[in-house]
Chain A
Amino acid sequence: MGKGKEQDTRFARFGVVSFTAVTKVNDFIGYLQEGKLMGTRCKRCGKLFFPPRADCFECLSSDMEWFEVKGRGKLLSFAKLSYAPVGFEKVLPYTLGLLDFGDFKVFGWVSKDIPEEELEVGMEMVPRVVRLEGDRLLYEFVKAS
């Protein structure tokens, strides 16, 4: 068997456990490495996507550009986990949350620095990139200052 072209498997570094390594939006990981959380915008119809997509379902174009997720989002909900799936036991307890930015929403971790009793639906938060053990990358939400 001949040696194939080397695959870009950067996505394998996403999250505590990653279940996919190859995607057309692998640059997402490159941006996380630079501390930036990015989505994609369809250059033809202008639709914003988070999480980023390589293809627009609205106009079927694959001509996309990156945009940075900036500013404050509103916390729509959160849940602190006391049990975890296999592979996540070591990071327990952790909190999942959903932020609304108006044109799109972002799903991620709520920072462990914030006690659960200080969290409430509707509060303003901002995302930030975090580095995990083993050169892995993730993002979480912290209070907007």
Chain B
Amino acid sequence: MGRVAIIGVGQSAFVRAYPGSLRELAFEAFKEAVEDAKVKPGEIEASLICSAPEYDRQRSPAGVIAEYLGLIPQPTCYVETVCSSSTTGVIMAYSMIKAGLYRIVAVIGVQKMSELSSMEVQERMGRGADIQWESPFGTMMPAYYALYARAYMAKHGLTLEDLARVRIKSSLYGQINEKAVYRKPVSMEDFLNPESRFAQLVASPLRVGDCCANADGSSCIILASEDVAKSVCEKPVWILGVGSAAEAVTMTGRPDLSEGLRVAKVAAEKAYRMAGLGPKDIDVAEVHDCFTIAEIMAYENLGFAKPGEGKELIRAKETYKEGSIPVNVDGGLLSKGHPIGATGGSQVRTIVLQLRGEAGPMQVKDPEIGLVHNIGGVGLYGNVIIMGR
């Protein structure tokens, strides 16, 4: 069986409040990806619509979006692993093509969160936890990541300044990413000044500046079989390895919180094994920095740093564009914003552009292998995808 390539990528701007409907938002990324792939919508043999439910009113949005994008009567379906929905979609599309059932599949990630207030969004995200045993205590995403942060900091001597360093790096690249929602510079002073908005606690020890923002956005990744990719695409990016994992929803079922996310470790091991590569082979990475602590944990769970030593990478600026392992040089979730279902596709797009040498001011020098780490919920689902030229 031949290889599978990514032949087209697209992303809408990630914005606070998109002035259009869900299907219109999906169209923005789709149009860009189809034009990039130089295929016609009718040539796409199946689509996967990736999103998290309850942020808008449309039930079963896959059909509505497929119709709007001209993707019928080809099959479509909804794919959901909350924040990692669209990398789950990419991995499913990879499998569908690998199985020989389809030659070209479009993975569309989309989320419109602005129809709800921030507290309503937090309530829905809180119900992404265990609604029987944990949500009745008033859980929300920042609180869960704060539990990870506290346990990690107590064990490994990570400081609040280290967490701020992750956000400062993110803002450097957010400023040059035209599609990011947050494009202002951020300095250590923004975290140290108690009057500053960034310094306000959300769930201790995490502050406003440690958290990514909700956003509206869409992404689209078009995958194709090797023969199709070679005939239509000048710079196919090959999928070399994929890995996925799931974790206990409850905190009570989790291994040691100070070790980061087990799903990331398990998914990375699978993806590395499949690709026949290791952490040292990765030239550029996109990791799921929904909170600053998440990026530090990702360094370790992906093997870029030893357990407890993730902080050294950010202190030494090794994850900057010029460093030994550039991470999130598009601003990551912290600066781009996090439109749940669209996020993973946006990460894949960034790596594809990097490997093609088309990342503009964000371009890392001549990368050959890239990696995406996309997490659903609080380490509930994890996907790792390794790509090469």
Residue ranges of A at the interface with B (Cβ–Cβ < 8 Å) = 11, 14-20, 23, 50-51, 76-89, 91, 94, 96, 98, 104-109, 116, 120-122, 138
Nearest CB to that of B206 among chain A residues? A79
Quick check: B147 and A16 within 8 Å, CB to CB? no
Interface of B is mostly: helix
Chain A to chain B contacts (Cβ below 8 Å), 19 pairs: A11-B132, A18-B136, A19-B127, A20-B131, A76-B257, A77-B150, A77-B154, A78-B150, A79-B147, A81-B140, A82-B201, A84-B119, A94-B137, A105-B251, A105-B252, A107-B133, A107-B251, A109-B137, A116-B204
Q: How far is the CA of A111 from the CA of B203 in the complex (A)?
A: 16
Point out the residue from B122, B134, B148, B251 that lies within 8 Å of A83, measured CB to CB: B122
B154: chain A residues at CB < 8 Å are 77, 120-122
Nearest CB to that of A85 among chain B residues? B123
Is B139 at the interface (CB under 8 A from chain A)?
Answer: yes
Q: How far is the CA of A80 from the CA of B123 in the complex (A)?
A: 17
- Total A-B Cβ pairs within 8 A: 121
Point out the residue from B127, B134, B140, B150 that lies within 8 Å of A107, measured CB to CB: B134
Give chain B nearest CB distance to A131 CB in angstroms: 14
Q: How far is the CA of A8 from the CA of B144 in the complex (A)?
A: 31
Point out the residue from A14, A15, A83, A105 that lies within 8 Å of B203, measured CB to CB: A83
Q: How far is the CA of A116 from the CA of B146 in the complex (A)?
A: 14
Point out the residue from B122, B150, B252 that lies within 8 Å of A79, measured CB to CB: B150
Give chain A nearest CB distance to B118 CB in angstroms: 8
Quick check: B137 and A85 within 8 Å, CB to CB? no
Nearest CB to that of B205 among chain A residues? A79
Quick check: B138 and A91 within 8 Å, CB to CB? yes
Give chain A nearest CB distance to B140 CB in angstroms: 5
Quick check: B140 and A85 within 8 Å, CB to CB? yes
Of B131, B133, B144, B257, the most chain A CB neighbours within 10 A belong to: B133
Quick check: B140 and A86 within 8 Å, CB to CB? no
Point out the residue from A17, A82, A116, A120 that lies within 8 Å of B136, measured CB to CB: A17
Is B200 at the interface (CB under 8 A from chain A)?
Answer: yes
Q: How far is the CA of A77 from the CA of B127 in the complex (A)?
A: 21
Nearest CB to that of A86 among chain B residues? B123
Of B140, B144, B150, the most chain A CB neighbours within 10 A belong to: B150
Of A79, A94, A98, A107, the most chain B CB neighbours within 10 A belong to: A79
Give chain B interface residues in 244-283, CB to chain A under 8 Å: 250-254, 257
Is B202 at the interface (CB under 8 A from chain A)?
Answer: yes
B160: chain A residues at CB < 8 Å are none
Give chain B interface residues in 196-236, CB to chain A under 8 Å: 200-206
Number of interface residues of B (CB under 8 A): 41
Point out the residue from B131, B135, B252 that lies within 8 Å of A106, measured CB to CB: B252
With A19-B132, A77-B148, A121-B150: A108-B123 Cβ-Cβ less than 8 Å: no
Quick check: B138 and A83 within 8 Å, CB to CB? no
Quick check: A107 and B257 within 8 Å, CB to CB? no
Is B353 at the interface (CB under 8 A from chain A)?
Answer: no
A120: chain B residues at CB < 8 Å are 154
B253: chain A residues at CB < 8 Å are 105
Q: How far is the CA of A18 from the CA of B127 in the complex (A)?
A: 11
Binary A-proximity of B141-153 (CB < 8 A = 1, otherwise 0): 0111011111100
B200: chain A residues at CB < 8 Å are 82
Quick check: B122 and A51 within 8 Å, CB to CB? no
Quick check: B150 and A51 within 8 Å, CB to CB? no
Is B332 at the interface (CB under 8 A from chain A)?
Answer: no
Nearest CB to that of A17 among chain B residues? B136
A50: chain B residues at CB < 8 Å are 252
Q: How far is the CA of A50 from the CA of B202 in the complex (A)?
A: 28
Give chain A nearest CB distance to B223 CB in angstroms: 35
Quick check: A104 and B252 within 8 Å, CB to CB? yes
- 10 A-B pairs with least C-beta separation: A15-B136, A79-B146, A88-B138, A85-B123, A121-B154, A19-B131, A77-B151, A105-B252, A51-B133, A86-B123
A20: chain B residues at CB < 8 Å are 131-132
Give chain B nearest CB distance to A145 CB in angstroms: 23
Give chain B nearest CB distance to A25 CB in angstroms: 9
Of B119, B127, B131, B138, the most chain A CB neighbours within 10 A belong to: B138
Quick check: A96 and B250 within 8 Å, CB to CB? no
Nearest CB to that of B201 among chain A residues? A82
Quick check: B257 and A85 within 8 Å, CB to CB? no
Is B115 at the interface (CB under 8 A from chain A)?
Answer: no
Quick check: B140 and A83 within 8 Å, CB to CB? yes
Nearest CB to that of A19 among chain B residues? B131
Is B10 at the interface (CB under 8 A from chain A)?
Answer: no
